[in-house]
Amino acid sequence: MKIINSEEVGRSEIEKLLQKKSFDEVELPQKIRDFNKNIFGKDLTASELVKKIVDDVRYNGDAAVIDYTKKFDNAEICAENFLVTDEEISAAESQVDEKVIDSLKRAAENIRSYHMEQLPKSWITYRGENSILGQSIIPLERVGVYIPGGLAAYPSSVLMNVIPAKVAGVNEVIMCVPSKGGKINPYVLMAAKIAGADKIFKIGGAQAIAAMAFGTATIPRVNKITGPGNIFVTLAKKEVYGHCDIDMLAGPSEILIIADESANPVYAAADMLSQAEHDPLACSIVITTDAALAEKISAQVTFQLEKIPRKEIAAASIENNGLIIVAQNLDEAIDFANISAPEHLELLTKNPFELLPKIKNAGAIFAGENSPEPLGDYFAGPNHVLPTGGTAKFYSVLNVETFLKRTSLISYTRKDLMNVAEDIIRLANVEGLTAHANAIDVRKNSSE
């Protein structure tokens, strides 16, 4: 893991280090490239592979889903077995630890309560002579939720995606989860039951995204797809956007910690590793104003790495994407953080709330040493599906409004229409849209 000093390397070099690669620039591991070449007869890029899968599923439906599930997951499955049955959910219930289920239920209640506060309202206002303007808030009819199932199981992601959709009033929430040997992690199934998912399908990868976007004989077409995934899932969401909506293009997990001299290096190192264990591509950065603290954090990362079961994954992440920057002051640290626009931003400083007005780009902010990132991942209530890869500059955290549409309402009286008729006619004519002007003119010239 690098430690660099902004005073020594210069601002432009640090900005370059903080820039994120686009999904299209990520190079596939050689074993995946060899695998693709063996199946498809040529060395495909990630984008080319995903486009092929999406097009195939779009036009060949369940047959393509079955084919790719066999190729990529080495799983024999037929369309009749895509859907998780009530019997499978009951079997999962008998396999779980009740204490874990109690924790999931408490987390679900926190998430539900928090998202209830986000509900916008329909409204009507009166203008002029009893004319009406308004806004209708309408939930989406059906949404699809993707839950990863590769390197780990994520019941928390089930809660974070399904509960806001249900709070929004979505009529049907379907879920796709890759299976292992035809089985889904029992805690994922129990989280789906707690959150209120309506249907669960045992498919994953780009083929699952395509199936939800276009529909198959077995899997219903959705209006929107949410949820995190690997590069293939992300690129598939990008590919289907426009045929349905998506929440965001989520990449590998990220944490950026701003730490002053008051920060505890043990906490900072632990929080870096909490993200590094997700994925070798995960990114963990500390920006500190204290050079001595930087060395202590680095030493703690090395020490704590030895204790975690997912050491190999975390070590690869820290080696390739771990970084400690020594900034000249807190203003510079915040400036660098805004350039990075991290998924998770922790403020391990003496007065974290003094920094909040200066922070412009972050998926979620964790203020103070008693608010570590895992608190948000699992339990506090705010959503953990967050923009990554610098997209916090323009994307928002997944929330209730992700699952809602706004429809405008306009109802004028004749008197109010006549009062503005000439304005509308002038504006339509200046744009050369004479039929627009005429639609007003015919009403103007007709008897009431």
| Side chain identity at residue 67, one-letter code | D
Find the helix packing angle between 311-321 and 291-305, rounded to 10°.
150
| Side chain identity at residue 448, one-letter code | E
Helices marked H in 229-290 — which ranges?
Answer: 231-240, 265-276
Tokens 């608010």 belong to 371
CA dihedral sign of residues 57, 46, 274, 246: negative
Token digits for 26?
């990520």
Q: Which of 284, 279, 26 is nearest to 151 (CA)?
A: 279
Report yes or no: 398 and 404 within 8 Å, Cβ to Cβ: no
How much helix, strand and coil, in percent to the nearest 5, is found in the chain?
50, 15, 35
The residue annotated as part of the active site, out of 88, 344, 373, 384, is 344
Report yes or no: 420 and 410 within 8 Å, Cβ to Cβ: no
What are the φ and ψ backbone dihedral angles of 174, each rounded to 5 degrees?
-105, 155
Cβ neighbours of residue 347 closer than 8 Å, sequence gap 6 or more: 257, 258, 355, 365, 366, 367, 368
Measured CA to CA, the distance from residue 244 to residue 262 in angstroms comes to 48
| Side chain identity at residue 210, one-letter code | A
Q: How far is CA 448 from CA 122, 132, 133, 149, 445, in A?
A: 31, 19, 22, 65, 9
Tell me if residue 344 is catalytic: yes
What are the φ and ψ backbone dihedral angles of 20, each rounded to 5 degrees?
-100, 145
Find the helix packing angle between 205-214 and 231-240, rounded to 10°.
20
Tell me if residue 343 is catalytic: yes
Measured CA to CA, the distance from residue 195 to residue 411 in angstroms comes to 39
Catalytic residue set: 343-344
